[in-house]
Amino acid sequence: MRRRDLLTGTAVVLVSSTLAPAQALTGALPWHPDAGTPPQPVEPGAWKFFTAAEAAAVEAAVDRIIPPDPQTPGGKDAGCAVFIDRQLADGYGQDRGLYDSGPFQKGSKQQGPQSQSPPAARYRAALAALDRYCHSADGGGRPFAELALQRQDEVLKGLEAGTVELAGVDGKAFFEQLLKDTQQGFFADPIYGGNRDMCAWKMIGFPGARYDYRDWVGRHNERYPHPPVSIAGAPGWKPA
């Protein structure tokens, strides 16, 4: 048998084997919007991961990382703590989908977290260590959430610089993670619990999940005139 005949015969077999299932379709496309895993809107209510004390500390921290001003709410009222809470209670908090076996070694910044503990466990340990530090350092027995705003800033700056050490926890690494998660909560689609009322998008003039804004891509230093649209606010969208 010549090679051409062999390849031709193989192609016929492959086409024939896939034709029957295709003909069984009822005329509908094999894909439709949100056919995979559409995001589920975050519902208001009780904390899913944080305890009340942990939530108070995180709300205080995100409000110092992104303080409010007359035009835009701060991290707390923007829902950044809610965003982090829901992420930690879900797959992100457990490193779902990521390689989580050893060896565990301290890697470079470009390699990302190399910890054996997932984000949820790191948050829980760091928040407990943070309150222990505040109780002992200030001598007043007050947790982070109850410190004066200036003192909260000092503690956060110390964590960022590595001058504030948390017992048993890498305080600098915790601050970096908290900062990243706060930023994501502030600018993510409101469907995930942060960026409440699309306040961050309105602040920067981001159009959100609009179908098409190519006419505006090259128009720099111009204010986008239309209000932003979230995933949940797009016409015809509904959760599965």
**Among residues 91, 93, 75, 96, which one has the least CA distance to residue 193?**
75
Count of CB atoms situated within 10 Å of the CB of 213: 13
Average pLDDT of the chain is: 83
Instruction: Determine contact, residues 200/186, Cβ cutoff 8 Å.
Output: yes
Residue 137 domain-assigned (yes or no)? yes
Q: What is the DSSP string of 38-91?
A: PPPPPPPSS-SS--HHHHHHHHHHHHHHS---SSS--TTTTTHHHHHHHHHHSG
Residue 63 domain-assigned (yes or no)? yes
Count of CB atoms situated within 10 Å of the CB of 167: 11
Which letter, b or e, does each residue of 27-48 get, where b requires 16 or more Cβ atoms within 10 Å of its Cβ? Answer: eeeeeeeeeeeeeeebeeeebb
pLDDT tens, residue by residue, 185-207: 999 999 999 999 999 999 988 88
Backbone torsions φ then ψ of 219, nearest 5 degrees: -95, 85
H or E element: which one contains 185?
helix 171-187
Q: What length is written for the chain? A: 240
User: In this predicted structure, what is the pLDDT of residue 45?
Assistant: 87
Question: How many domains, in total, are found in the chain?
Answer: 1
Range of the domain at 158: 52-96+112-201
Residue 40 domain-assigned (yes or no)? no
pTM (whole model) above 0.95: no
* CA 15 from centroid of its chain's CA atoms: 43
Residue 190 domain-assigned (yes or no)? yes
pLDDT tens, residue by residue, 73-125: 999 999 999 999 999 999 888 888 877 777 777 778 787 777 778 999 999 99
Residue 183 domain-assigned (yes or no)? yes
Residue 160 domain-assigned (yes or no)? yes
